[in-house]
Copies of this chain bind each other. A is one copy, B any other.
Amino acid sequence: MEQILELLNNNKITEIRKILDDKNPVDIADYCGELPKEQCLKLFRIFPKDISAEVFSYLSIEKQQEVIEGITDGELTFIINDMFLDDAVDVIEEMPANLVDRILRNSSTSTRQLLNRFLKYPENSAGSVMTVEYIALKNTLTVGEAIEYIKKVGIDSATYDTCYVIDNQRKLIGDISLKSLIFLDDVLYIVDVMDTDNIKTTTTTDQENVAELFRKYDLTSLPVVDNEDRLVGMITIDDIVDVIDQENTEDFHKMAAMAPSDEEYLKESIFSLAKHRIMWLLVLMVSATFTGKIIRRYEDVLQSVVVLAAFIPMLMDTGGNAGSQSSTLIIRGIALGEIGLEDVWKILWREFRVSFVVGLVLAIVNFARIFFFDTTGPMVALVVSISLFITVILAKVVGGVLPVVAKACKLDPAIMASPLITTIVDACALMVYFGFATHLLHIK
């Protein structure tokens, strides 16, 4: 790539084009990203026309902005019209207002109308991730006519193998693959050979549900219809991969007690990072007051057997870990569609049995450790171990059931994850602990 920079400085345009010809647009965009502004612009204007739109769509937002500011209106028009519509929408959503104006002003009327319609779809809806580069065939065509039509509207629209069949009101009535068209007899009518078991979605469906359909039916593309069942777009699987990544990131963030963020870590501002984290930390800090209150109620117990304090962290941490194990499994199961509301009793019973086994092993190991390696005596070891056993069972049952309850209440199960469960489990653990301590150690 050093070579290109040198050729660039010597204005050897033909040589550069030759080199770029063999490269993937993603790699070219990567390389542009590393160049200083001037060189990047220069390189960008050298590209063969047919790849400039594609390279542009893979640039970072900052670089895209630089390029738009540096090119002529004519070049901008070409790029916007040549980009896939969903990529163009993504660009517009990230640009400052003055550049958005310039982009829209320089788009063809039809592109501008489409862009405006797309910008109105709610965020994370099927409408916002669909593309309009699909092939729609009228139901009156024969196979031969369909192939002629496809050749005419051009190869660019056929980004995916599937062609959709519509009636004269643009209602979706079937689909057929480009491949089968080629292999079929020219004189057949497409309505007689198309597939009719269409899986489809509507513009307002949440992208998470769309991803669910792709998973379930192993789809590579999915038609999108409007309220009147008319075909308006197609969702392709490469965009669904992005959706899946995004939804997973959201769940990771929520389960670590953060407001989810779409931005890359290294690109987000310090203030925004802090803002996303502070709310939950405050809530959890204040809710920990409750735990503090329990300890203060048992201050006299602690005063007489101060060694009890030494086991509080172990009890709380183990309880928290045990609970978040269960909640994570259940939340993930719900996200992948493996667990439903009807499974709540099954989960309760499973978690009870698992936690019984796990709790017993932990309690025995813990008792042995305190008994043999500590100087606190068998009664304290017994109190700690029994409390541990009960805490693990409580933690796992609460951790397993809470996400399903959240789901039933139409709340996000991920929000109910480890942080909230930790607080509940902490409180339970301490009450059990001091309860047993008071009775078994005959305090007071």
Contacts and interface: CB of A to CB of B under 8 A. Distances in A.
B178 A155 contact: no
A132 interface: no
B318 A316 contact: no
Interface residues of A, number: 112
Contacts of A273: 350, 354
A29 to B, nearest CB: 10
A311 B325 contact: no
Contacts of A47: none
Contacts of A408: none
Nearest to A426: B313
A378 interface: no
B329 A265 contact: yes
A302 interface: yes
A171 to B, nearest CB: 17
A42 to B, nearest CB: 22
A306 B299 contact: yes
A245 B245 contact: no
Contact of A281 (B22, B218, B240, B318): B318
A288 B199 CA distance: 53
A24 B24 CA distance: 37
A426 B321 CA distance: 14
A314 B302 contact: no
Interface stretch (A32-40, A69-77, A105-113, A247-255): A247-255
A339 B265 contact: yes
Interface in A286-337: 286, 288-289, 291-293, 295-296, 299, 302-303, 306-307, 309-314, 316-318, 320-322, 324-325, 327-333, 336
A215 B430 CA distance: 47
Contacts of A392: 281
Contacts of A257: 321, 324-325
A404 to B, nearest CB: 11
Nearest to A196: B22
Contacts of A291: 313-314, 317
A219 B245 CA distance: 15
A363 to B, nearest CB: 10
Contacts of A274: 354, 357-358
A316 B197 CA distance: 56
Interface string A167-204: 00000000000111011000000000000110100000
Given A220-B237, A312-B312, A266 B343 contact: yes
A266 to B, nearest CB: 6
B311 A292 contact: yes
B270 A322 contact: no
A241 interface: yes
Interface in A250-286: 251-253, 255-258, 264-266, 270-271, 273-274, 277-278, 280-282, 284-286
A22 B84 CA distance: 33
Interface stretch (A92-100, A137-145, A417-425): A417-425
Contact of A338 (B158, B215, B266, B350): B266
A366 interface: yes
11 contacts: A24-B217, A161-B178, A219-B238, A237-B237, A245-B336, A248-B248, A258-B329, A266-B343, A270-B350, A270-B354, A278-B361
Given A253-B328, A265-B333, A299-B306, 15 more contacts: A24-B199, A219-B238, A237-B241, A240-B241, A253-B329, A256-B324, A256-B328, A257-B324, A264-B333, A265-B339, A288-B313, A293-B310, A302-B302, A309-B309, A320-B320
